[in-house]
């Protein structure tokens, strides 16, 4: 299976070709079999390769396909790398991807008010794009050089663009203001971007990051003369000694790409708007897989980051700052998907904090568990949306637990995992990160634990408002119903994974096995002069673990207290801190800030160039101006042409006489 | 003999068409298709018979032309020109088919012009004699100007006159410089001049300027670009395809063919200026494209930006940049040609190109929408498609020599995404504009053209070595030529 | 016979003819007369050629004369045709009415 790993990419490509070219002819039912089937087959190939690699002890195998570009000393093959790291990603992408495909076969069927089901208008287009995404993501994680990673990097960006803008003709939507009680002015919310605009925003913001990534790749090539992982990493230490400043530059430039793709400060702004896409897309691309590409990239390039401690620290600080910042915004969001979106940004921040302090395995661990529980939460949110005819505002929900039991239970499980409730998957992965962060910097840890508390709070705030209490919109409530089997199936499987995903990395200090530590060991490079690994005492580890548990439970309880026991408290609190509340509700006005600082000046400059410089100065003054000048000069000369043939003849004679006299009198 | 045939066939076709009665529209169309298809067929052996990994000219032909002055009819191709010749024969066929229903008035003259244009452009790409080259260079202006001036939009005369005078004025100094070379070298044969002539550096700098001015107008390099949007907006669809697809390439190709090998010592002197202008072109073209309200004008300005990349690669000083530049010429021909074609499909039905007249049409025309999107992706430089390889390699080559230029150029791809996706959004997405309710999707002919174009985009994107293997020997030689002179200058 | 008449006489006659022709071209307004004057100038030149041909005993001059006569015939043919068209167009033979090329 290892040598056939190219099938994992080829199968989704085959699926997208079939569905893209013949989707309308073969019918939607066939489409909804082909698309998930291809991903399932890819998953099975991945599983086969997984066991083979286990058997080899994690040794990496390159599968060369063809030579892509050769120019002089620049030579890049299309070649796939099968090693523990890429296989981890392959399994997550195809595994979660398969579940989401199955889910989408039901999700993309809308039921109308009379209970009739209708396929989405462009059913086959949706699955074509979804398969395209799977293939692109696999190129990203399987490529065995930086150029292929960059190729995948761009391709997932375009799949994301296509899928966010899938409902491209939907307009921008206004949001109902948040009411803060009778005698306070409600907080008005910005309208939501249209899907088309959101997709574009995502693509462009991603491309800004990609500039950094591309420059990093260029610098890698100028430094190493190759882009192959297995040629760069072994030489990194030697190069770093010869040219100490280059590796940090490379690491920093590549990280700029990760900032864009993985929605970190300051380029996170596209991710919340990406929620305009269909919910399976949000679950697959904007929670489970694509946005974690930056983490994957850093783990892949771990030696480069280990050799650039300053950059790594910056990664950790940016990660933790993002985690904290996004969590504060999530506290007050009223749109269920956006709560989850900011929580994704926040959790990605954790992962970066982990890889920033050198805890690469912990970062990957959280990546995997996060893929399980966040996909679960998004799919749960989608199930709710489906039941409520696309209503996503939690203020119009309430009491849904009686109407949709499976969605409710699985959402709880996802919420517990996200909050880091003891023994759930998120608990172990988050705790491992926090323990490593504590070792590196207690200040960062403090923000981390604060974020953990907020995470627990906002997650359960959403759960309590949406699923518990009394229905707020009776019409919607009456029509709500449990979703169909493909949806509940995906939810159930992911729920099991969200509970037991933690088994991949149990705490080592308790003497429990940590599968990922051993599994990922072959891809992690040791620095030659690495300090003796420093272990915290059992007591300290235990203390951190207990703190995490207490904070998680405390956050959940606070949400219970606020939204179930004393619902007046949050409103009073918001009223008394109205300006702070409004600041959070408006997402710190960051979008508006970027608009004023970059977009509008850019457009104004462009307009000035087009109307002023181009039309007036260059074209009119210089180009047409030259023509006019010559024309005017010609106009003066043409006065000599008075139209009388006689005068022309006279001029000729005089000319001839002058010439003849010149010859005679010379 | 193949190369001469490529000039003779279109001319013969044009003459035959001239004798067909005016009312035989179908016969004229089929004759034009047959001629261009034949030319394409004849040009294919150039690819398959081209020896890989060998530098120097292939398929060469030398015949006395003006023996008294030692001027010969000397043609031949190498890696630089091979694909441009193929692109020309291919795009001419596409252009002829694309004007199947668009042209009703003066069809006979129109097709004759297309064929003469093909002959002249191929002549430019295969000439290895300065005067032969100059002849074809100027000859290519006439059919193009006629295409704009007779079958163009409302300001067609203005555009045609501007086009012809601007480009002709640009190339006058080139003629003078060619004469200087001829007088100094005693021959106008390019390979002989390159291998034997040794001019002083000052003279090289002056002559390089004379040549570069002609080429820069053609490219067009900022700030000599303003004829291009005017010409594009007024030209008929097929005219735009030919103009963007092959005529602009005459400029960038000639840098590599003439300016650099003839005046290697002057390259270092002019590189900073040309690279700066290329970078300005990339960013400026993109910004101006962003705020256009006419789709075709947007594509025209995008050409300014894209051609900037080619110039950047040409003067990156390394083999990667040059090979990338050659590839990017082909890429730009395919993807921009396709964009113009797509715009033409809309224009033929709606007779407007204003963004405000469109919106949400993807619902109505799914096939068109898909191809339009693919064309945009190819132009944006998305991996898997052709544009990515060219731009990546150009920027990679530039980075090694000039990281700041590469960084600015890379930023240009962000802007490219911005304006092209804005165009996509305005045309295809958003609420459906009811003015388009009668819009029909592409028919088989149109979809076939789009399919073939995008197929080549994918092939180049996935297997660029099919081209690079043939391009590399020529660029390696050029790169060596420049680096040799820099070494001497350094000592 | 010509031996008795000195060359200078011919040249003088030719010069007079030429001057009359030139004067006519410059002064006269009627296009037909202008055209005739041009012919006269040409014939003055012919006369010079013939005279020199005889004087130098060379036939080159005579060949030239034939050429000029042929050109003159062509000129008359084209010129008169143009004239007829012009006359139709402007309904005039006054040379000063044909001034469309005025700057």
So what's the architecture of C7-94 in CATH? Orthogonal Bundle (1.10)
Averaged pLDDT of chain A: 89
Dist. CA B106–CA B104, nearest whole Å: 7
pLDDT range class, residue A534, cuts 50, 70, 90: low
Give the residue from B83, B393, B310 showing the smallest Cα distance to A70. Answer: B393
**Domain count along chain B:** 1
Mean pLDDT, residues A222-251 taken together: 91
Cβ distance B403 to A215 less than 8 Å, yes or no, reads yes
User: Is C27 within 8 Å of chain A by CB?
Assistant: yes
Give the per-residue pLDDT at B52. 86
| DSSP-derived secondary structure letter, B317 | S
Cβ distance A642 to C95 less than 8 Å, yes or no, reads no
A424, A430 contact by CB (below 8 A) = no
Best mutation site among A634, A636, A639, A643 for testing chain C: the one with the most C CBs within 10 Å? A643
User: Does residue A417 register a pLDDT over 70?
Assistant: yes
Give me the residue from A74, A207, A614 closest to B226, CB to CB.
A614
User: Is B463 within 8 Å of chain A by CB?
Assistant: yes
Give me the residue from A196, A603, A606 closest to B430, CB to CB.
A196
Give the per-residue pLDDT at A533. 59
Per-residue pLDDT of A359-396, as tens digits, reads: 899 999 999 999 999 999 999 999 998 888 888 888 88
User: Is A652 within 8 Å of chain C by CB?
Assistant: no
Residue B301 lies in a domain: yes
What whole-number percentage of chain A has pLDDT above 70? 98
Give the per-residue pLDDT at B257. 92
Largest CA-CA distance found in chain C, in angstroms, rounded: 55
**DSSP secondary structure, A340-378, as one string:** HHHHHHHHHHHHHHHHHTT-HHHHHHHHHHHHHHHHHHH
User: Is A196 within 8 Å of chain B by CB?
Assistant: yes
Give the per-residue pLDDT at A471. 84
User: Does residue A2 register a pLDDT over 90?
Assistant: no
Mean pLDDT, residues B449-462 taken together: 94
Between B200 and A646, the higher pLDDT residue: B200
User: Does residue A568 register a pLDDT over 90?
Assistant: no
Task: Give the SS3 label for residue A642.
Answer: coil
Give the per-residue pLDDT at B360. 87
Q: What does the domain layout of chain A look like in residue ranges?
A: 362-527+536-581, 597-665
Give me the residue from A637, A643, A653 closest to C26, CB to CB.
A653
Q: Which residues pair with B74 in a beta bridge?
A: B62
Residue in chain B closest to A624 (alpha carbons) equals B162
Dist. CA A436–CA A588, nearest whole Å: 30
User: Does residue B461 register a pLDDT over 90?
Assistant: yes
pLDDT range class, residue B489, cuts 50, 70, 90: very low
Mean pLDDT, residues A166-189 taken together: 84
B62, B212 contact by CB (below 8 A) = no
Per-residue pLDDT of B46-75, as tens digits, reads: 999 998 888 889 999 999 998 888 899 999
Give this complex's ipTM: 0.92
pLDDT range class, residue B490, cuts 50, 70, 90: very low
User: Is A663 within 8 Å of chain B by CB?
Assistant: no
Mean pLDDT, residues B434-454 taken together: 91
Give me the residue from B320, B407, B465 closest to A67, CB to CB.
B465
Give the per-residue pLDDT at A649. 83
pLDDT range class, residue B390, cuts 50, 70, 90: very high
User: Does residue B487 register a pLDDT over 80?
Assistant: no
Cβ distance C101 to A641 less than 8 Å, yes or no, reads yes
B337 is written with which tokens? 């040609």
pLDDT range class, residue B103, cuts 50, 70, 90: confident
User: C touches A (3+ CB pairs < 8 Å)?
Assistant: yes
Cβ distance A218 to B388 less than 8 Å, yes or no, reads no
pLDDT range class, residue B488, cuts 50, 70, 90: low
User: Does residue C2 register a pLDDT over 60?
Assistant: no
Mean pLDDT, residues A554-573 taken together: 87
Cβ distance B431 to A69 less than 8 Å, yes or no, reads no
Which chain B positions have a beta carbon within 8 Å of A168's beta carbon? 360, 362, 425, 428-430
Per-residue pLDDT of A291-312, as tens digits, reads: 999 999 999 999 999 999 999 9
Give the residue from A416, A431, A420, A401 showing the smallest Cα distance to A507. Answer: A431
User: Is B58 within 8 Å of chain A by CB?
Assistant: no
How many contacts, defined by CB atoms under 8 Å, are there between A and B? 145
Mean pLDDT, residues A529-547 taken together: 76
Residues 210-269 of B with CB under 8 A from A: 223, 226-227
Please state, as a whole number, how many other Cβ atoms lie within 10 Å of the Cβ of residue B418: 24
User: Is B401 within 8 Å of chain A by CB?
Assistant: no
Cβ distance A649 to C102 less than 8 Å, yes or no, reads no
Give me the residue from C22, C95, C103 closest to A645, CB to CB.
C95
Averaged pLDDT of chain B: 91
User: Does residue B279 register a pLDDT over 50?
Assistant: yes
Dist. CA B459–CA B444, nearest whole Å: 22
What whole-number percentage of chain A has pLDDT above 90? 56
Please state, as a whole number, how many other Cβ atoms lie within 10 Å of the Cβ of residue A154: 29
User: Is A1 within 8 Å of chain B by CB?
Assistant: no
Cβ-based neighbours of A242, under 8 Å, separated by 6 or more: none
Per-residue pLDDT of B120-160, as tens digits, reads: 999 999 999 999 999 999 999 999 999 999 998 888 999 99
R_g of chain C computed on alpha carbons: 17
User: Does residue B491 register a pLDDT over 50?
Assistant: no
Give the per-residue pLDDT at B486. 58
A504 is written with which tokens? 């991949």
Task: Give the SS3 label for residue A507.
Answer: coil
Task: Give the SS3 label for residue A144.
Answer: coil
A12 is written with which tokens? 């989704």
DSSP H or E segment with residue A621: none
Per the structure, the complete domain to which residue B311 belongs is given by: 266-491
pLDDT range class, residue A204, cuts 50, 70, 90: very high
B185 is written with which tokens? 């070298």
A386, A483 contact by CB (below 8 A) = yes
Residues 31-50 of B with CB under 8 A from A: none
Residue in chain A closest to B431 (alpha carbons) equals A169
Residue B289 lies in a domain: yes
What whole-number percentage of chain B has pLDDT above 70? 98
Cβ distance B429 to A207 less than 8 Å, yes or no, reads no
User: Does residue B485 register a pLDDT over 70?
Assistant: no
Residue in chain C closest to A644 (alpha carbons) equals C96
User: Does residue B305 register a pLDDT over 80?
Assistant: yes
Residue in chain C closest to A649 (alpha carbons) equals C26
User: Does residue B209 register a pLDDT over 60?
Assistant: yes
User: Is C96 within 8 Å of chain A by CB?
Assistant: yes
């Amino acid at each position: 299976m290892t040598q056939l790993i190219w099938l994992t990419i080829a199968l989704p490509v085959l699926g997208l070709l079939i569905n893209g070219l013949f989707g309308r002819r073969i019918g939607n039912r066939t489409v909804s079999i082909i698309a998930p089937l291809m991903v399932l087959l890819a998953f099975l190939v991945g599983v086969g390769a997984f066991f083979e690699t286990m058997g080899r002890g994690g040794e990496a195998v390159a599968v060369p396909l063809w030579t892509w570009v050769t120019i002089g000393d620049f030579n890049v093959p299309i070649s796939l790398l099968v090693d523990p790291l890429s296989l981890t990603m392959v399994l997550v992408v195809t595994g979660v991807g398969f579940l989401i495909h199955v889910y989408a076969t039901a999700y993309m069927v809308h039921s109308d008010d009379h209970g009739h089901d209708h396929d989405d208008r462009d059913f086959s287009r949706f699955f074509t794009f979804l398969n395209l995404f799977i293939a692109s993501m696999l190129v990203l994680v399987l490529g065995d050089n930086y150029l292929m990673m960059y190729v995948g990097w761009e391709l997932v960006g375009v799949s994301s663009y296509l899928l966010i803008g899938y409902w491209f003709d939907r307009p921008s939507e206004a949001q109902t203001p948040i009411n803060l009680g009778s005698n306070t002015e409600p907080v008005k919310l910005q309208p939501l971007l249209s899907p088309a605009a959101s997709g574009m925003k995502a693509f462009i913001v991603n491309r800004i990051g990609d500039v950094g990534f591309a420059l990093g790749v260029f610098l890698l090539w100028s430094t190493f003369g190759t882009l192959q992982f297995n040629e760069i990493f072994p030489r990194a230490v030697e190069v770093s000694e010869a040219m100490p400043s280059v590796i940090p530059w490379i690491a920093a430039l590549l990280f700029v790409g990760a900032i864009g793709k993985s929605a970190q400060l300051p380029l996170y702004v596209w991710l919340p708007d990406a929620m305009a896409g269909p919910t399976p897309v949000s679950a697959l691309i904007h929670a489970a897989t694509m946005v974690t590409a930056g983490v994957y990239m850093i783990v892949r390039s771990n030696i480069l980051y280990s050799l650039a401690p300053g950059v790594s620290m910056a990664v950790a600080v940016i990660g933790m700052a993002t985690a904290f910042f996004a969590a504060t915004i999530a506290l007050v969001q009223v749109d269920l998907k956006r709560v989850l979106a900011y929580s994704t940004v926040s959790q990605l921040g954790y992962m970066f904090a982990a890889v920033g302090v050198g805890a690469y395995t912990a970062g990957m661990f959280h990546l995997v568990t996060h893929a399980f529980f966040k996909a679960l939460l998004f799919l749960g949110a989608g199930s709710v949306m489906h039941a409520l005819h696309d209503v996503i505002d939690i203020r119009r929900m309430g009491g849904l637990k009686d109407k949709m039991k499976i969605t409710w239970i699985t959402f709880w499980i996802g919420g517990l995992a996200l909050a880091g409730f003891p023994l759930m998957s998120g608990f172990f992965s988050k705790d491992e990160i926090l323990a490593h962060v504590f070792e590196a910097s207690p200040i960062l840890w403090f923000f981390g634990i604060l974020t953990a508390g907020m995470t627990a709070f906002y997650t359960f705030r959403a759960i309590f408002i949406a699923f518990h209490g009394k229905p707020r919109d009776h019409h919607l409530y009456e029509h709500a119903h449990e979703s169909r089997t493909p949806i509940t199936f995906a939810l159930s499987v992911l729920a099991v994974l969200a509970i037991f995903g933690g088994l991949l990395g149990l705490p080592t200090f308790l003497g429990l096995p940590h599968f990922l530590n051993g599994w990922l060991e072959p891809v992690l490079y040791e620095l030659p002069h690495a300090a003796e690994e420093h272990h915290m005492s059992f007591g300290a580890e235990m203390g951190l673990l207990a703190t995490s548990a207490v904070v998680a439970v405390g956050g959940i309880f606070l949400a219970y207290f606020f939204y179930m026991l004393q619902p007046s408290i949050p409103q009073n609190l918001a009223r008394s801190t109205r300006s702070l509340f409004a600041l959070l509700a408006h997402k710190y006005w960051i979008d508006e800030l970027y608009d004023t600082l970059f977009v509008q000046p850019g457009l104004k400059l462009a307009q000035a160039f087009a109307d002023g410089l181009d039309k007036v100065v260059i074209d009119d003054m210089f180009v047409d101006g030259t023509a006019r000048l010559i024309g005017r000069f010609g106009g003066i000369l043409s006065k000599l042409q008075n139209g009388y043939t006689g005068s022309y003849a006279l001029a000729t004679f005089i000319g001839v006489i002058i010439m003849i006299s010149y010859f005679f009198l010379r | 003999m193949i190369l001469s045939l490529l000039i003779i066939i279109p001319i013969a076709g044009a003459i035959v068409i001239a004798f067909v009665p005016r009312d035989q529209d179908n016969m004229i169309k089929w004759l034009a298709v047959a001629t261009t298809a034949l030319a394409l067929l004849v040009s294919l052996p150039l690819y398959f018979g081209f020896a890989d990994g060998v530098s120097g000219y292939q398929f060469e032909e030398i015949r006395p032309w003006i023996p008294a002055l030692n001027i010969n009819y000397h043609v031949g191709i190498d890696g630089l020109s091979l694909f441009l010749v193929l692109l020309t024969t291919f795009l001419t066929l596409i252009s002829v088919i694309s004007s199947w229903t668009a042209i009703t008035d003066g069809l006979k003259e129109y097709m004759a012009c297309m064929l003469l244009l093909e002959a002249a452009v191929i002549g430019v790409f295969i000439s290895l004699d300065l005067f032969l080259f100059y002849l074809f260079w100027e000859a290519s202006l006439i059919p193009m100007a006629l295409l704009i001036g007779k079958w163009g939009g409302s300001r067609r005369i203005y555009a045609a006159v501007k086009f012809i005078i601007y480009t002709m004025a640009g190339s006058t100094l080139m003629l003078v410089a060619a004469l200087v070379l001829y007088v100094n070298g005693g021959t106008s044969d390019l390979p002989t001049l390159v291998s034997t002539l040794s001019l002083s550096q000052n003279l090289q700098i002056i002559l390089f300027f004379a040549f570069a001015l002609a080429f820069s107008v053609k490219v067009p390099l900022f700030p000599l670009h303003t004829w291009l949007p005017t010409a594009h907006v007024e030209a008929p669809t097929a005219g735009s395809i030919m103009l963007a697809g092959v005529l602009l390439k005459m400029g960038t190709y000639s840098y590599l063919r003439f300016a650099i090998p003839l005046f290697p010592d002057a390259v270092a002197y002019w590189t900073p200026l040309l690279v700066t202008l290329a970078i300005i072109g990339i960013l400026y073209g993109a910004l101006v494209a962003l705020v256009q309200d006419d789709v075709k004008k947007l594509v025209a300005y995008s050409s300014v930006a894209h051609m900037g990349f080619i110039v950047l690669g040409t003067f990156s000083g390394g083999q990667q940049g040059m090979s990338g530049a050659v590839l990017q010429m082909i890429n730009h021909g395919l993807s921009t040609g396709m964009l113009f074609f797509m715009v033409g499909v809309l224009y033929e039905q709606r007779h407007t190109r204003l963004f405000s007249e469109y919106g949400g049409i993807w619902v109505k025309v799914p096939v068109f929408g898909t191809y339009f999107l693919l064309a945009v992706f190819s132009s944006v430089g998305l991996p898997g498609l052709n544009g990515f390889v060219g731009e990546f390699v150009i920027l990679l080559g530039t980075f090694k020599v000039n990281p700041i230029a590469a960084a600015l150029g890379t930023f240009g791809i962000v802007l490219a995404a911005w304006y092209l996706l804005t165009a996509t959004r305005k045309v295809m997405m958003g609420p459906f504009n009811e003015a388009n309710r009668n819009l029909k999707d592409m028919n088989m002919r149109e979809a076939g053209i789009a399919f073939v174009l995008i197929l080549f985009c994918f092939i180049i994107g996935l297997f660029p070595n099919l081209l690079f293997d043939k391009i590399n020997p020529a660029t390696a030689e050029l790169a060596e030529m420049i680096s040799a002179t820099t070494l001497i200058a350094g000592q | 016979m010509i031996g008795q008449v000195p060359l200078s006489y011919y040249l003088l006659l030719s010069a007079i003819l030429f001057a009359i022709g030139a004067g006519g071209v410059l002064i006269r307004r009627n296009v037909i007369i202008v055209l005739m004057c041009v012919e006269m100038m040409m014939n003055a030149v012919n006369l010079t050629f013939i005279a020199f041909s005889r004087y130098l005993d060379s036939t080159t001059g005579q060949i030239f004369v034939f050429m000029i006569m042929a050109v003159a015939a062509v000129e008359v043919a084209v010129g008169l045709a143009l004239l007829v068209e012009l006359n139709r167009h402007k309904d005039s033979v006054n040379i000063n009415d044909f001034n469309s090329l005025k700057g």
